Amino acid sequence: MIISSTSDYRAAAQKRLPPFLFHYIDGGAYAEQTLRRNVEDLAAVALRQRVLKDMSRLDTSIELFGEKLSIPVALSPVGLTGMYRRRGEVQAARAADAHGIPFTMSTVSVCPIEEVAPKIKRPMWFQLYVLKDRGFMQNALERAQAAGCSTLVFTVDMPVPGARYRDAHSGMSGPNAAMRRYWQSVTHPAWSMDVGLLGRPHDLGNISAYRGSPTGLADYIGWLGANFDPSISWKDLEWIRAFWKGPMVIKGILDPEDAKDAVRFGADGIIVSNHGGRQLDGVLSSARALPAIADAVKGQIKILADSGIRNGLDVVRAIALGADCAMIGRAFIYALATSGEAGVKHLLELLEKEMRVAMTLTSVSKVSDITGDLLVRQP
Ligand SMILES: Cc1cc2nc3c(=O)[nH]c(=O)nc-3n(C[C@H](O)[C@H](O)[C@H](O)COP(=O)(O)O)c2cc1C
């Protein structure tokens, strides 16, 4: 199979993964309108083509939170990454490391922090969810700091998990889920061998390390519903701010007023995100939310953005709309599921090449020159 884009990786991942996992990655909340709009709204952003300006020297790198990134992209935190490929967090982190960009470890990873951190050279970022057990949160922050994680990504758009209809149909949850998952595994032998057999333990590594006993994954969706904390407010974030010594980024901002609150609160950055359309369906796509948020807080706080970014052109579009850095979720997971570390490395090379083409044909030689001036103002 020829692979030259994220959609090729998506098709390959669908073949390889048992359906309960493919649809868990691929799906969104309710009717999946926001999921679709994330991609469509970004794709509809027209850039001004400019020519004949000697673009022989391009610099795609940026500096963010004191770190150099070879391209303005970081890997978004994705739960259960180790279920899509054997010890998947390690493989994705190594690919990001090789390309010179950050990997963000999810709270609900299969591999614990201590398994991944020593396998890479640059510090990873750590993503924290608000769980009812605050002892776990403190323990996770202590362990992340001890393992040298540099930036904390604090996700605030998951006080409750969004309803994802596909999960009940695919066997991720719903009636006879365990039996259906078992049958799907048997009928996907390449995945069964790589992850089912050789990728053990299948566990929420960060959580079982704290509890001292395996969590297992039998009722992952039930576990999310029972442990996420809907009482979270800005007040709760204060002790985390005081506790975490490095940069702290709030993930899941879609509204300029919340972005201003993040500035007041002392965050170092925000991630404009609707969780890849997995939480509240019908909310704005990141592409539509970005300009007003940038108007409100650009320059006061770093603006990162994810949800819908599928190629290097999208990275340039997101930055032109107001982001300082883009993040990718599903795109790297499809590549990881297809060919592991090599797949993610290849995807990042594709992204960089596509960025270079976009920069050349819009006549910008460095990332800081990618601004709203690049946008064609449509009526
Ligand atoms: C399968 C899956 C699991 C995810 N798990 C997490 C998570 O554990 N923590 C988090 O903050 N965001 C999580 N997200 C959201 C991503 O970090 C990111 O916001 C989203 O994937 C971006 O949209 P994109 O997939 O269109 O790039 C998850 C997304 C997917 C697809």
Domains of the chain: 5-370 (3.20.20.70)
* 290 contacts: CB under 8 Å, gap ≥ 6: 272, 303, 305, 318, 321, 322, 323
- CB count in 10 Å sphere of residue 154: 24
- CB count in 10 Å sphere of residue 327: 30
6 is in an annotated binding site: no
Q: Closest residue (by CA) to atom 21 of ligand 1? A: 329
Determine contact, residues 345/98, Cβ cutoff 8 Å. Answer: yes
What pLDDT score does 212 carry?
Answer: 85
- Which of 278, 284, 290, 332 should be mutated for ligand 1, with most atoms under 8 A from CB? 278
Ligand 1: which atom is nearest the Cα of residue 25? Answer: 1
Catalytic residue flag (residue 275): yes
Pairing of strands 302-305, 269-272: parallel
127 is in an annotated binding site: yes
What pLDDT score does 375 carry?
Answer: 98
What pLDDT score does 333 carry?
Answer: 99
* Rounded Cα gap, residues 379 and 362, in angstroms: 21
Q: What is the mean pLDDT of each run of 10 residues along the chain (379 residues)?
A: 97 98 98 98 98 97 98 98 98 98 98 98 96 90 98 95 92 93 97 98 91 81 84 88 94 98 97 98 98 98 98 98 98 99 98 98 98 88
What pLDDT score does 379 carry?
Answer: 59
What's the pTM? 0.98
Does 87 sit in the ligand 1 pocket, CB within 6 Å? no
Does 81 sit in the ligand 1 pocket, CB within 6 Å? no
330 is in an annotated binding site: yes
